[in-house]
Amino acid sequence: MDKGDVTALMQGLGAAARAAAAELAFAPPEARRKALEAAADAVWARRAEIVAANALDMDYGRDKGLTAAMLDRLMLDEPRIQGIVAGLRAVAAQKDPVGEVITEWDMPTGLHIRRVRTPIGVVGVIYESRPNVTADAGALCLKSGNAVILRGGSESFHSSTAIHACMVDGLRAAGLPEAAIQLMPTRDRAAVAAMLRAVEFIDVIVPRGGKGLVGLVQAEARVPVFAHLEGICHIYLDRAADAEKARRVVLNAKTRRTGICGAAECLLIHRDLVGGLGAQVVADLVAAGVEVRAGEGLHHLPGVVAAQPDDFGREFLDRIIAAAVVDDVDGAIAHIRRYGSSHTEAILTEDDAAADRFFTRLDSAILMRNASTQFADGGEFGMGAEIGIATGKLHARGPVGAEQLTTFKYLVTGDGAVRS
Amino acid sequence: MDKGDVTALMQGLGAAARAAAAELAFAPPEARRKALEAAADAVWARRAEIVAANALDMDYGRDKGLTAAMLDRLMLDEPRIQGIVAGLRAVAAQKDPVGEVITEWDMPTGLHIRRVRTPIGVVGVIYESRPNVTADAGALCLKSGNAVILRGGSESFHSSTAIHACMVDGLRAAGLPEAAIQLMPTRDRAAVAAMLRAVEFIDVIVPRGGKGLVGLVQAEARVPVFAHLEGICHIYLDRAADAEKARRVVLNAKTRRTGICGAAECLLIHRDLVGGLGAQVVADLVAAGVEVRAGEGLHHLPGVVAAQPDDFGREFLDRIIAAAVVDDVDGAIAHIRRYGSSHTEAILTEDDAAADRFFTRLDSAILMRNASTQFADGGEFGMGAEIGIATGKLHARGPVGAEQLTTFKYLVTGDGAVRS
């Protein structure tokens, strides 16, 4: 497509999304719920069509030389389609956030002021190979009353198109505007650049994918972005850690799933524990097949390898963890400030003062005590589903669910009140 | 200054602000309160010095050919300094927002999750000629636990420097880092550009000033911005308006102060009222010396002038108002969607259904019923003071006070909880 075509395409999608958003803002919650249930029905009814579309993508992916891991992310079969259906029904069943009175108060002038939750407007979601994001992200945006423009990875184009058709079936069944959920109808990369600059049409962009995609979006976007670049999560073994809890939590934080953003990437050990619990925790990790890249003061531990300087502040997303000795909780805080990514950090301690210091002096989106960093997830926070995890300072931090995809307005009532 | 000097200056201020912000995040509320009280004392004690500095600025302003209105905004005398002192004490007395538990809940996994209010980090404030913003903005940022980098107008340089010295006196008296409130120590305009790009050091920029400044900041900033470009506030006279309330509220909304962003700039009149209450309201405005620029269907009213097309969607900030006839509340909503600036709109009606429609279908930051748009103000909302009014969709909308200058983090506690 030439530049003019892309601009015209973005204008068309953008204007349609704005018009749909204006309608969605006052659509009854029941209509949005019904649209998601109907979309779930459609995905299941049209599963053969979706699998056939996915086969085209898998062929394309194989031709393109995608790795086995990438092909696995792309692949859809009946169990995975069941997962998509269940996800749609779960979001449909969630509490509706739109219209909630967040807070209200009276003023001596006679004004009654309410702060009321409203949709943001139009959300742009840019993702990579997983076609299920078409349903998940579309559902969360609709639940929160937003119109959405989806831009899936080029390798999942046919699968996403087939799933998107089912979402539109749902909208139609509920009498909602079809442009509430739009899919960018081209694989052209110029369309991504157009979305990132579309301040007139898109209120916030959510990138879903690896560091390459997120970094590009953060660098190029003129539209606000909800995202995290990396999840370099730290877990600190304080002097007052309970041995049994600590062993269990560290092992879970590193090994439950290594490829997610909430996986621990660095273990910090209080100096006094190096000869005892610290060594035990490292031994547990080594026994679990984790490569422990150990900093100074830990090289003598069996099975470890010496850390290189760039192993600190690194997101391995693998069975690898960096480990360092710190003098105390302040040393842990200093290390995390230097190397962290403001995502999630945990302290293992029975000492309330140390936990309080850790909670107060760090400003990661999520701080945990005696709990695994792997809990950094919208579902585990009770949000039902998440569109991603954000580490920016403004608006949405931590898991971004339907409620985080809303904003608010003030509704003020008087009885002829004038300002003196 | 050459480009390297500006970069070095911004790096120095930015690093100092980051370090101060890290300390402020856990400074006791009492220290922040004490710093503001001590700053108020210092402003009063050093008032002669401030007036002398202001005299230099006034000379500079006269040489530069500033208008009388601009010189008035710049001028400081003892009563105005009393106002600054009172403002500092009012912010000091406000409720402290930092550390507030916004919400908390338990999960079946044993996790207890708290969402806790925290400072944003570093705020940049860019303002024009009013030197009192140095104290007001500095105080609100400190109250909310943020470090701030202030960049005043070049014409108020000496006044701002003198006031800033008093703010630093306050910080010192309370044992807080002096870099918590920094003033850009140069008039060079390149410093503004450097702030707008300082994503590493500044979390949010608040421009305080006219459309020229705000437009520049919105166009150039790589840092998030809390601002409104214009306050094109509409007031809609519904068929079910109460005559007495309507006359009082419209007059106040237009004439109480015409130069503020909450002043009404366009009156929308229900078609059925043109021969009655609408004509009366227009006559009231004309009698009050307001130039009524009337659209089609209103040209026959005594004393009006015919509106030009660009009078709709225009911020007059003067004794001028546009007026148009609409068919009903939906017509008013359509007009506002087309011409509004998402700031503040009011409906005058006794009809709950019309008010509900107006509240639901518009998404301005502030919507009012039977109340003057001039109430669009942090003080009138009970926020104590405001750093500005925001019309963006994310994070802070409407009046931006100390609470809106905060963000949050999640504090999660378990008892050795691991994710299954």
CATH 3.40.309.10: which residues of chain B? Answer: 233-380
Please write the tens of the pLDDT for every residue from A259-298: 999 999 999 999 999 999 999 999 999 999 999 999 999 9
Q: At residue A66, does pLDDT exceed 80? A: yes
Q: Which of A370, A394, A411 lies at the smallest CB-CB distance from B416?
A: A370
SS3 letters for B69-130?
A: HHHHHHCCCHHHHHHHHHHHHHHHHCCCCCCCEEEEEECCCCCEEEEEEEECCEEEEEECCC
* Contact call for A111 and B414, based on CB within 8 A: no
Residue A143: pLDDT over 90: yes
Report, at the CATH architecture level, how domain B3-226+406-411 is classified. Answer: 3-Layer(aba) Sandwich (3.40)
Cβ(B385)–Cβ(B90) below 8 Å: yes
Give span(s): CATH 3.40.605.10, chain A. Answer: 3-226
Distance from the A319 Cα atom to the nearest Cα atom in chain B, whole angstroms? 17
pLDDT band at A162 (very low <50, low <70, confident <90, very high): very high
Is residue A148 less than 8 Å (CB to CB) from chain B? Answer: no
Distance CA A81, CA A132 (A): 8
Residues A315-326 have pLDDT tens digits of 999 999 999 999
C-beta atoms surrounding B109 within 10 Å: 15
Say what the pLDDT of residue B315 is.
96
Q: Distance (Å) from the C-alpha of residue B171 to the closest C-alpha of chain A?
A: 20
Report yes or no: B219 at the A interface, CB cutoff 8 Å: no
Which pLDDT belongs to residue A359? 94
Residue B19 · residue B82 · CB < 8 Å: no
* CATH among 3.40.605.10, 3.20.20.70, 2.40.160.20, 1.25.60.10 for A3-226: 3.40.605.10
> Per the CB < 8 Å rule, is A25 touching B361?
yes
Interface of B with A in 111-130 (CB under 8 A): 111, 113, 118, 120-121
Return residue ranges of chain B for CATH 3.40.605.10: 3-226+406-411
Answer whether B397 sits within 8 Å of A417, measured CB to CB.
Answer: no
- For residue A121, give the nearest of B26, B393, B409 by CB distance: B393
User: Closest to A360 (Cβ–Cβ): which among B26, B107, B413?
Assistant: B26
Q: A26 to chain B: which residues are within 8 Å by CB?
A: 360-361
| Residue A384 binned pLDDT confidence (cut-offs 50, 70, 90) | confident
Position B383 scores a pLDDT of 82
User: For position B1, what pLDDT does the model report?
Assistant: 79
d(CA A94, CA A37): 12
State which residue of chain A sits closest to B203, comparing Cα positions. Answer: A393
pLDDT score for B4? 86
The CATH class given to the A233-380 domain equals: alpha beta
Give the pLDDT confidence score for residue A383 in this predicted structure.
82
Quick check: B411 contacting A, CB < 8 Å? yes
Tell me the per-residue pLDDT of A99-110, one tens digit each, with 9 for 90 and over: 999 999 999 999
The pLDDT, as a whole number, for residue A1 is 79
Q: Tell me whether B22 touches chain A (CB under 8 Å).
A: yes
Which one of B393, B400, B404, B420 would you mutate to disrupt binding with A, by most A Cβ within 10 Å of its Cβ?
Answer: B393
pLDDT score recorded for residue A37: 98
Q: What is the pLDDT of residues A237-254, one digit of tens each?
A: 999 999 999 999 999 999
Cα dist from B99 to A12, A141, B34, B41, B141, whole Å:
45, 30, 18, 27, 15
Tokens of A168: 């539109």
Residues in chain B with CB shorter than 8 Å from the CB of A245 are 415-416
Instruction: Look at B410 and A381 and tell me if their CB atoms are within 8 Å.
Output: yes
Mutation for testing the B interface, residue in A106, A381, A410, A415 having most B CBs under 10 Å:
A410
A418 in B contact zone (CB under 8 Å): yes
Kindly report the backbone phi and psi dihedral angles of residue B234, in degrees, each rounded to the nearest multiple of 5, phi listed first.
-110, 150
State whether A416 and B370 contact (CB < 8 Å).
yes
Which stretches of chain B score pLDDT less than 70? none
Across chain A, what does the average pLDDT equal?
A: 95
Give the integer Cα–Cα distance in Å for B140 and B166: 15
Mutate to test the interface with A, among B223, B409, B415, B420 (most CBs of A within 10 A): B409
Residue-level pLDDT at B167: 98
A109 contact residues in B (CB cutoff 8 A)? 375, 380
pLDDT digits (tens, 9 = 90+) for B335-357: 999 999 999 999 999 999 999 99
- Ranges of beta strands (E only) in A120-241 are 122-127, 147-151, 181-183, 204-208, 233-237
CA-nearest residue to B415 within chain A is A370
**Residues in Cβ contact with A374 at an 8 Å cutoff, skipping those fewer than 6 apart:** A252, A253, A256, A257, A260, A262, A263, A264, B418, B419
